[in-house]
């Protein structure tokens, strides 16, 4: 970590920074070094991804997803130097310099009222980054002072929601932040603020709506806290009604979305990489509900629904999934022999599925008439299309074999290995062949 000089950034399991409430990503730069000559104990921050948000500058090491990370609150920046246009700067890597106020012991203070000032240099080694655009956004965000309004929200929020942590609608594990309503609202607000001030009066109603929406978001947060505490503290005493409403709430919360979706605009060249990480964070919850494996198409729908207006193309989704191989994320893309692609947990085991399929296929009814994809879907609790993939995989492993007849496509437990080709009339009086024979002859 970055020593005691800068505070560390909390990272999700896929290596994306956990954002503060109402914090939004604005721009990303790759291969950025942070240097400070004024401080001897300044950490070694070489070649990382720098994320500019409305609240902070986040530096995350490039080399590994769980590596070093540091955050500089924009509040602590006292001055941003404009870029020097000299002959030398044409050949060297572009640099952005800004002044930080720090406390006497060398810590970056959040308030921006530190006693010392140090100059930090950002060296951008990455190619193709549009530095001017970044600098403009940097200035805008610094001047925008979004953290001041944000802080006010948090304080008022924690007053109404007694005992809630200040992490707001965000969970520490980095699961989906379900405050898309507020995300959309914020966008609305930004647009609205940039339009002519004279229009403000005409939009009094919108203001009123917004304050109502804020209450709604607060309510959502309250419900969520309740859900979280309920699911951990008393799972045994859960009544049916409460369970039902919980389910409903979770469905509802799931559908309200992602507050700060990664976009091409904000991430630029790092788009797919960042999208990939965000997707990895996102799929955890749907995966859990789907039993560890979920169809790519389903995820596409859920993900885009969560993103609201910032839709991604199927191609982008596929790209993002392919990139998982390069990151240390707990999920993976899997392609079945039939070409169907699914997302599954890395810990997901086919063995368990096979065991359940085998149990199903050796039940008396199944021995007699075989099992269909829908039978397996009911037992495994997955969609029939997915169940069929499992059955086909089990078949390819030799656990099952198929029967195609006018009645349809069914699977039977594989008896072929138990039959002795040198004595076709022999039935060992143990094993599944014998069981099948008893069941089959009893039915006739």
Question: Which range in 27-35, 126-134, 184-192, 417-425 contacts other proteins by CB under 8 A?
Answer: 417-425
In terms of CB distance, is 94 or 370 closer to other proteins? Answer: 370
Of 104, 128, 235, 421, the residue at the interface with other proteins (CB under 8 A) is 421
Task: Provide the minimum distance between the beta carbon of 380 and other proteins in the complex, in angstroms, as a whole number.
Answer: 21
Distance CA 266, CA 259 (A): 14
Distance CA 221, CA 332 (A): 31
Closest CA to 345 of 300, 394, 398, 287: 287
In terms of CB distance, is 194 or 441 closer to other proteins? Answer: 441
> Scanning residues 223 to 262, which ones bind other proteins (CB under 8 A)?
none
7 binds other proteins (CB under 8 A): no
Of 87, 90, 92, 424, the residue at the interface with other proteins (CB under 8 A) is 424
In terms of CB distance, is 272 or 410 closer to other proteins? Answer: 410
Question: Which range in 64-72, 175-183, 282-290, 433-441 contacts other proteins by CB under 8 A?
Answer: 433-441
Question: Which range in 58-66, 224-232, 237-245, 419-427 contacts other proteins by CB under 8 A?
Answer: 419-427
Quick check: 144 and 58 in contact, CB under 8 A?
no
C-alpha distances in angstroms, 373 versus 370, 380, 381, 412?
10, 10, 12, 12
- Pairing type for strands 45-53 and 341-345 reads unpaired
Question: Which range in 199-207, 238-246, 317-325, 407-415 contacts other proteins by CB under 8 A?
Answer: 407-415
Of 231, 402, 408, 428, the residue at the interface with other proteins (CB under 8 A) is 402
388 binds other proteins (CB under 8 A): no
DSSP 8-state class, residue 19: P
Distance CA 88, CA 239 (A): 72
191 binds other proteins (CB under 8 A): no
Quick check: 142 and 55 in contact, CB under 8 A?
no
439 binds other proteins (CB under 8 A): no
440 binds other proteins (CB under 8 A): yes
In terms of CB distance, is 131 or 437 closer to other proteins? Answer: 437
Distance CA 22, CA 131 (A): 25
Taking residues 323 to 362 in sequence order and writing x for each that binds other proteins by CB under 8 A, - otherwise, the string is: ----------------------------------------
Question: Which range in 32-40, 167-175, 189-197, 422-430 contacts other proteins by CB under 8 A?
Answer: 422-430
Distance CA 24, CA 8 (A): 18
Which stretches of 273-424 are assigned E, i.e. beta strand?
293-295, 331-335, 341-345, 400-405, 408-413
Closest CA to 69 of 84, 77, 57: 57
301 binds other proteins (CB under 8 A): no
Quick check: 255 and 304 in contact, CB under 8 A?
no
Distance CA 329, CA 345 (A): 9
442 binds other proteins (CB under 8 A): no
Task: Provide the minimum distance between the beta carbon of 350 and other proteins in the complex, in angstroms, as a whole number.
Answer: 16
Of 417, 429, 430, 442, the residue at the interface with other proteins (CB under 8 A) is 417
In terms of CB distance, is 38 or 418 closer to other proteins? Answer: 418
436 binds other proteins (CB under 8 A): yes
Q: In which region does residue 184 sit, left (phi positive, over 0), alpha (psi from -120 to 50) or beta (all else)?
A: alpha
Quick check: 132 and 139 in contact, CB under 8 A?
no
Token reading at 436:
């099948």
How many residues sit close enough to other proteins to count as binding (CB under 8 A)? Answer: 26
Of 359, 396, 428, 431, the residue at the interface with other proteins (CB under 8 A) is 396
Task: Provide the minimum distance between the beta carbon of 336 and other proteins in the complex, in angstroms, as a whole number.
Answer: 14
Distance CA 72, CA 109 (A): 9
Residues 6+ apart with CB under 8 A from 70: 2, 6, 7, 8, 9, 34, 43, 45, 58, 59
Query: Which residue bears the tokens 């229009």?
Result: 199
412 binds other proteins (CB under 8 A): yes
Of 296, 427, 432, 439, the residue at the interface with other proteins (CB under 8 A) is 427
Residues at the interface with other proteins (CB under 8 A)? 370, 395-396, 398, 401-406, 410, 412, 414-417, 419, 421, 424-425, 427, 433, 436-437, 440, 444
């Amino acid at each position: 970590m970055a020593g005691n000089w800068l505070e560390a950034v909390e990272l999700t399991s896929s290596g994306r920074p956990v954002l503060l409430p109402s914090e939004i990503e604005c721009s990303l730069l790759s291969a950025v070094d942070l240097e400070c000559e004024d401080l001897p104990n300044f950490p070694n921050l070489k070649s990382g991804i720098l994320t500019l948000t409305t609240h902070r500058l986040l530096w995350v090491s490039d080399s590994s997803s769980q590596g070093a990370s540091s955050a500089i609150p924009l509040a602590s920046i006292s001055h941003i130097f404009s870029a020097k246009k000299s002959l030398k700067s044409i050949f060297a890597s572009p640099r952005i310099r800004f002044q930080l106020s720090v406390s006497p012991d060398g810590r970056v203070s959040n308030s921006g009222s530190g006693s010392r000032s140090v100059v930090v240099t950002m060296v951008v080694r990455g190619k193709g980054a549009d530095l001017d655009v970044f600098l403009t956004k940097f200035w805008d965000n610094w001047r925008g002072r979004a953290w001041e309004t944000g802080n006010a929200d948090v304080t008022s929020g924690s007053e109404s929601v007694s005992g809630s942590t200040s992490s707001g609608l965000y969970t520490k594990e980095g699961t989906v932040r379900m405050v898309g309503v507020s995300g959309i609202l914020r966008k609305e607000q930004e647009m609205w603020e940039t339009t002519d001030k004279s229009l403000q009066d005409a939009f009094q109603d919108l203001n009123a709506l917004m304050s109502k929406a804020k209450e709604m978001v607060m309510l959502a947060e309250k419900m969520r806290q309740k859900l979280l505490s309920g699911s951990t503290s008393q799972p045994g005493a859960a009544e049916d009604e409460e369970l039902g409403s919980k389910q409903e709430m979770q469905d509802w919360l799931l559908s309200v979305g992602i507050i700060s979706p990664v976009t091409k605009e904000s991430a630029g060249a790092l788009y797919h990489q960042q999208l990939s990480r965000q997707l990895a964070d996102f799929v955890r919850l749907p995966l859990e509900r789907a039993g560890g494996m979920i169809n790519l198409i389903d995820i596409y729908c859920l993900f885009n629904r969560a993103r609201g207006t910032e839709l991604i193309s199927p191609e982008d989704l596929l790209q993002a999934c392919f990139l998982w191989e390069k990151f240390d994320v707990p999920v993976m893309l899997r392609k079945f022999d039939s070409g169907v692609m699914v997302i599954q947990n890395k810990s997901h085991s086919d063995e368990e599925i096979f065991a359940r399929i085998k149990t199903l296929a050796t039940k008396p009814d199944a021995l007699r008439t075989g099992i269909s994809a829908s039978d397996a879907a009911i037992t495994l609790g997955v969609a029939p299309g997915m169940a069929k993939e499992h059955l086909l995989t089990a078949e390819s492993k030799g656990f099952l074999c198929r029967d195609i007849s006018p009645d349809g496509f069914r699977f039977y437990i594989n008896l072929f290995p138990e039959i002795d080709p040198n004595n076709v009339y022999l039935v060992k009086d143990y094993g599944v062949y014998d069981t099948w024979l008893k069941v089959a002859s009893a039915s006739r």
